Amino acid sequence: MPNLLEVRDLKTQFFTSSGTVRAVDGISYDVEEGETVALVGESGCGKSVSALSILRLIPNPPGRIVGGSVRFMGQNLLDLNDEGIRHVRGRQISMVFQEPMTSLNPVLTIGLQLTEMMELHLGLNNEEATRKAAEYLDMVGIADSKRRLKQYPHHLSGGMRQRVMIAMALCCEPRLIIADEPTTALDVTIQAQILEVMKDLSQRLGVALIIITHNLGVVARYADRVNVMYAGKIIERGNARDIYKNPRHPYTLGLLHSVPRMDLPRKEKLDPIDGQPPDLTKLPEGCAFRVRCRYEVEKCGVEVPHLESIGTGHLSACWQKNDLHNAAAGVSS
């Protein structure tokens, strides 16, 4: 299948008074048509910045995309002028943000916020756009959609607002939706509803999906391919089964060990990753995970490991990746 999106060696940096923050430090990944790809990592690992960089939504100053390319359907989005990127945003690539409370405009009705996009991007008249807006609200499971169109965001609950965000993301029939922590602000039962809606609609409409999350559980159910990020780099990539059953990076391994699991007998003690994520202005020499790593060897402090293949479609950026096999066997069951 052809690649819909090809990110190559993308670098985004923030120039602050305390130094240059290398938020995204040379990451490359692909998204195929209709595929669901996940970017997983902890806060500050650069997952959101990498997504915002695709749509060039990085505030400048202080931030700037300093290198790499983002090819979407053959075209490098980083070469487009402002007018050009506006035709991509919302039309071909749309976004669902984490905070449904703050990402809708509080002084405009739901209807206006939905129809505005369609009138602008698809050239529909108001009547057509309103009809379509109601259709999309039905599709994301908002009952009584005609009345809802006239309401303001504060009339809706968090879960409903996130549904509206999804309707907005879908209404111009984009090829790719980037969902940045779409369920983090929501309760578990609502989370499950929202994820089901997103997965179902993306499959039905053939839209590719990039899910950005810190929740390993969310990814397990919905993602085809998973990219694990740490300190601005992708450190492991593979299909969901490989990542969970056979993790080949100490960080992935550590993450999987450190969460209590509902499906396994209780453990006496959790096995956390020691230390804390590094300061992105002062990244250490060599591998950024080195100081927290249990499998460190001398080479780790000298040379940065690059993503290298360890099996079909499974890559890891670790010098010890081939010896992690035995350690990984203990993750599941």
Which residues of the shown chain bind another protein in the complex (CB under 8 A)? 42-43, 157, 159-160, 187-193, 196, 214-221, 240-241, 244-245, 254-256, 258-263, 265-274, 276-277, 332
Both tokens assigned to 196: 């089901």
Choose among 205, 204, 199: nearest CA to 182: 199
Minimum distance, C-beta of residue 159 to another protein, in the bound complex (Å): 5
Dist CA 272 CA 116 (whole Å): 48
Residue number, 204 or 269, with CB nearest to another protein: 269
Q: What is the three-state SS of 59-89?
A: CCCCEEEEEEEEEECCEEHHHCCHHHHHHHE
Minimum distance, C-beta of residue 41 to another protein, in the bound complex (Å): 9
Dist CA 73 CA 4 (whole Å): 5
Minimum distance, C-beta of residue 98 to another protein, in the bound complex (Å): 14
Dist CA 52 CA 70 (whole Å): 12
Minimum distance, C-beta of residue 233 to another protein, in the bound complex (Å): 16
Minimum distance, C-beta of residue 124 to another protein, in the bound complex (Å): 31
Residue number, 93 or 256, with CB nearest to another protein: 256
Minimum distance, C-beta of residue 275 to another protein, in the bound complex (Å): 9
Residue number, 28 or 184, with CB nearest to another protein: 184
Minimum distance, C-beta of residue 99 to another protein, in the bound complex (Å): 14
Choose among 276, 281, 183: nearest CA to 232: 281
Choose among 257, 329, 326, 253: nearest CA to 293: 253
Choose among 168, 178, 152: nearest CA to 70: 178
Residue number, 82 or 263, with CB nearest to another protein: 263
Residue number, 146 or 221, with CB nearest to another protein: 221
Residue number, 106 or 265, with CB nearest to another protein: 265
Choose among 12, 7, 6: nearest CA to 65: 12
- Termini Cα distance of the chain: 35
Give φ, ψ of 133 to 5 degrees.
-60, -45
Both tokens assigned to 265: 């007998």
78 close to 56: Cβ distance less than 8 angstroms: yes
Residue number, 70 or 256, with CB nearest to another protein: 256
